[in-house]
């Protein structure tokens, strides 16, 4: 039978070390608190409770690292947890066995994202880039406070859009864990996204001639034709880049996209200029894609460098419309010609103009440098609206999906859509090619 006495630091230090096995002692002040002393001199606080029909020893800590008062508080807390149906040891064991965030993300990717999301590659890339420091953490240890701190950090370093997308991914990953049986709580729950402003930028009538002039001298023919096709169809970047010959109906002058961002097929009428561009490209390639990559093993992937050149050329042309800027650009060009016998790129000229303008304290307009590739799609819709097309027609031509408007869209024939796109394209090319 264990010896019982009022535990104090002095008394516990006096306890003898047994030759073998261990000796057990009970505290008379806190019911249930006990301490055992082993033959190696270890002194350990514990309590015993009946859990699920079994006598369980719950370790509270080692003396003197854990003081007598701390041991009494731990004993009281442990007894309360057992009374509530919680087992401290089982909780620790569950945490040891619990999946890590990295393991959960891998399961999310393979079990859900790759099967259901066309954008799964973005999940893979963004989570590995921004959340890999959590991969070895148990999923229950990541707190709401940490998620909020990460969101604010990403906002400062990577912008509002990136911060919101990562928050959405964290929330989605944890929601799937809960759906699959995990009993924890979602640390992203209750955290609001930063309010995003809808983008309304499109290529203005005074900018179109500059854009078309820059397009005309673009050396990358594939990128040039891709941008022209985007202007003539209003289709999304990924769809235009992945356009295939077997999707083109030469008889009906239509392009059928098998699957769009919203998961549904879309048929786009092709205006005469689009058909002529396709005819020219078909004569030059035997690949499955309208815009094949340089190797021909896949479709063209990244028009960013070409788009940067086009925007920069168009912006320089815009600056040249102001007398003060003309002198600036002439001086920069002379300096570059003097110092570079091998010629210079538009990027080098563009940067040199910006640097010289800063030195001279000249404010240069942003020009077309803030136009993104996706803004081409918005430009097509904007010119349809400018030329009188109805919202249902615009939605149909751009493949928008709306619960309220879907029924109306489904009744529309392609002829009015084609007419609206013909009118919009005529207006764009008129602005773009006028002298």
| Rounded average pLDDT over 116-129 | 89
Tell me the β-bridge partners of 35.
25, 45
Q: How confident is the model at residue 342 (pLDDT cuts 50, 70, 90)?
A: low
Greater model confidence, 184 or 211 = 211
Q: What is the mean pLDDT of residues 70-80?
A: 89
CA 38, CA 18: separation in Å to the nearest integer? 7
Tokens coding 52: 């699920």
Tokens encoding 195: 């309010």
pLDDT, tens digit (0-9, with 9 covering 90-100), for 26-56: 999 998 899 999 988 899 999 988 766 677 7
Question: How many C-beta atoms surround the C-beta of residue 185 within 10 A?
Answer: 13
Alpha-carbon gap, residue 269 to 255, rounded angstroms: 6
More confident residue, 4 or 59: 4
Tokens describing residue 338: 């003097």
What pLDDT score was predicted for residue 7? 94
Quote the pTM value.
0.61
Q: Which residue has the higher pLDDT, 423 or 231?
A: 231
What pLDDT score does 265 carry?
Answer: 85
Q: Return the percent helix, strand and coil in the chain, to nearest 5.
A: 55, 10, 35
Q: Considering the chain, what is the average pLDDT of its residues?
A: 86
Give the contacts of 260 (CB within 8 A, at least 6 positions apart): 236, 239, 266, 399
Question: In which band, very low, low, confident or very high, does the pLDDT at 192 lie, cut at 50, 70 and 90?
Answer: very high
Give the Å distances, CA to CA, from 369 to 88, 177, 209: 60, 43, 15
Model pLDDT, residue 85: 62
| CB 208, CB 386: distance < 8 Å | no
Q: Minimal CA–CA distance to 235: which of 210, 259, 204? A: 259
State mean pLDDT over 73-92.
72
At 258-267, the pLDDT tens digits run 887 766 788 9
Q: What is the pLDDT of residue 293?
A: 92
* 401: confidence class by pLDDT, cuts 50, 70, 90: low
Are 59 and 46 in contact, with CB atoms under 8 Å apart?
A: yes
Dihedral pair phi/psi, residue 25, rounded to 5°: -135, 150
Q: Cα separation of 156 and 82, whole Å?
A: 45
Q: What is the pLDDT of residue 119?
A: 80
- pLDDT for the residue numbered 366: 92
Could you tell me if 310 and 214 are in contact, meaning their C-beta atoms sit under 8 angstroms apart?
Answer: yes
Instruction: Check if the beta carbon of residue 37 is closer than 8 Å to that of residue 47.
Output: no
CA nearest 25: which of 8, 396, 285? 8
Neighbours of 183 (CB within 10 A): 8
- 150 vs 158: CA distance, rounded Å: 11
With a cut of 60, say whether residue 330 has pLDDT above it.
yes
Q: How many other CB atoms are there within 10 angstroms of residue 272's CB atom?
A: 11
Could you give the residue ranges of the DSSP H alpha helices within 300-401?
A: 304-319, 323-339, 346-359, 374-386, 391-398
Element (H, E) at 11: helix 9-14
> What is d(CA 377, CA 92) in angstroms, rounded to the nearest whole number?
54
pLDDT mean over 388-406: 64
Q: Answer whether residue 256 shows pLDDT above 90.
A: yes
pLDDT at 218 exceeding the cut of 50: yes
Q: What is the DSSP letter of 132?
A: G
Which residue is listed with tokens 């879907």? 406
DSSP letters, 147-184, are HHHHHHHHHHHH-HHHHHHHHHHHHHHHHHHHHTT--S
- Is residue 213's pLDDT more than 50? yes
Q: How far apart are CA 221 and CA 237, in angstroms?
A: 17
């Amino acid at each position: 039978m264990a010896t019982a006495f009022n535990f104090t630091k002095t008394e516990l230090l006096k306890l003898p070390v047994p030759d073998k096995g261990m000796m057990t002692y009970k505290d008379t002040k806190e019911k249930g608190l006990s301490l055992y002393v082993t033959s190696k001199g270890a002194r350990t606080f514990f309590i015993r409770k009946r859990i699920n029909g079994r006598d369980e020893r719950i370790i509270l800590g080692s003396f003197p690292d854990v003081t007598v008062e701390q041991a009494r508080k731990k004993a009281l807390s442990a007894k309360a947890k057992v009374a509530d149906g919680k087992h401290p040891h089982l909780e620790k064991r569950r945490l040891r066995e619990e999946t890590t965030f990295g393991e959960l993300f891998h399961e999310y990717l393979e079990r859900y994202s790759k099967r259901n999301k066309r954008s799964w590659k973005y999940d893979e890339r963004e989570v590995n880039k921004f959340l890999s420091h959590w991969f070895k953490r148990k999923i229950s240890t990541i707190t709401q406070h940490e998620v909020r701190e990460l969101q604010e950090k990403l906002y400062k370093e990577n912008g509002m859009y990136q911060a919101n997308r990562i928050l959405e991914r964290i929330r989605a990953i944890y929601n799937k864990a809960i759906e699959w049986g995990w009993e924890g709580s979602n640390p992203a729950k209750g955290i609001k996204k930063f309010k995003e402003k809808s983008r309304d930028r499109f290529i203005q009538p005074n900018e179109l001639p500059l854009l078309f002039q820059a397009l005309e001298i673009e050396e990358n023919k594939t990128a040039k034709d891709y941008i022209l096709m985007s202007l003539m169809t209003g289709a999304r970047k990924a769809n235009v880049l992945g356009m295939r010959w077997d999707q083109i109906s030469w008889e009906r002058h239509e392009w059928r996209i098998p699957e769009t961002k919203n998961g549904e097929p879309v048929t786009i009428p092709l205006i005469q200029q689009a058909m002529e561009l396709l005819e020219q490209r078909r004569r030059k390639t035997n690949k499955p894609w309208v815009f094949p990559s340089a190797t021909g093993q896949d479709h063209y992937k990244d028009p960013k460098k070409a788009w940067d050149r086009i925007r920069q050329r168009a912006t320089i042309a815009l600056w040249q419309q102001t007398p003060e800027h003309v002198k600036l650009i002439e001086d920069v060009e002379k300096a570059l010609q003097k110092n570079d016998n091998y010629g210079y790129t538009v990027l080098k000229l563009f940067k040199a103009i910006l640097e010289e303008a800063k030195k001279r304290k000249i404010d240069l307009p942003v020009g077309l440098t803030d136009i993104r590739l996706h803004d081409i799609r918005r430009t097509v819709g904007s010119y349809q609206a400018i030329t009188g097309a109805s919202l249902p027609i615009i939605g149909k031509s751009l493949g928008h999906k709306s619960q309220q408007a879907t029924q109306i869209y489904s009744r529309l024939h392609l002829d009015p859509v084609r007419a609206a796109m013909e009118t919009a394209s005529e207006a764009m090319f008129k602005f773009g090619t006028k002298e």
